[in-house]
Amino acid sequence: MSSPLPNARDSFAAACRRLGPRLMRDLGLSDVQAAGLLGNLGHETGGFRHLQEIAPAVPGSRGGWGLAQWTGPRRVALEAWCRARGLDPADPEAGYGYLCAELRTTEAPALAALRTTTTLAAATETVWRRYERPGVVAPARRLAWARRALAALRDGPAAPAPARRPGRA
């Protein structure tokens, strides 16, 4: 994929602030580990803007699809998982659900390895080596996306002001 553009960066940051806390809660990740995962996903999807792989690496194939750009047998498994649950594979919630399901089952060793990382670089590398396993790695780009993800998670929106009670100033 490519480097984030200003508009992509803003929507990517918003997506990270939405997805990051869920990944931390649902998969037991730290912010650094979630950012390593989000950076890889951001790289794969152009900042969460592309569901379908733009130029499939395998000529004649359907290419990657969804949040993790699942390809080949993993794409078929995603589609079967969605069908079994009556979900649309294009629905972002279906993609998130499958990501978590895959990391808890067939990709559990990748999740276990990710949970042992303590730096952003290690988390990012662990995700591309153990989970994404891309044909084109582009480690510097993945790390750049991960840095943006971590910044979004740490510089998230300010907490809302406490609600005022009626009759109070």
Q: Tell me the H-state helices in 67-165.
A: 73-84, 92-104, 108-115, 120-126, 139-154
How many domains would you assign to the chain? 1
pLDDT of 162 higher than 70: no
Q: How confident is the model over 111-124, as pLDDT tens digits?
A: 999 999 999 999 99
CB proximity list for 127: less than 8 A, separation 6 or greater: 36, 37, 39, 40, 110, 114, 142
The CATH number of the domain holding residue 117 is 1.10.530.10
Name the residue range of residue 45's domain: 8-51+61-155
Q: How confident is the model over 23-47, as pLDDT tens digits?
A: 999 999 999 999 999 999 999 999 9
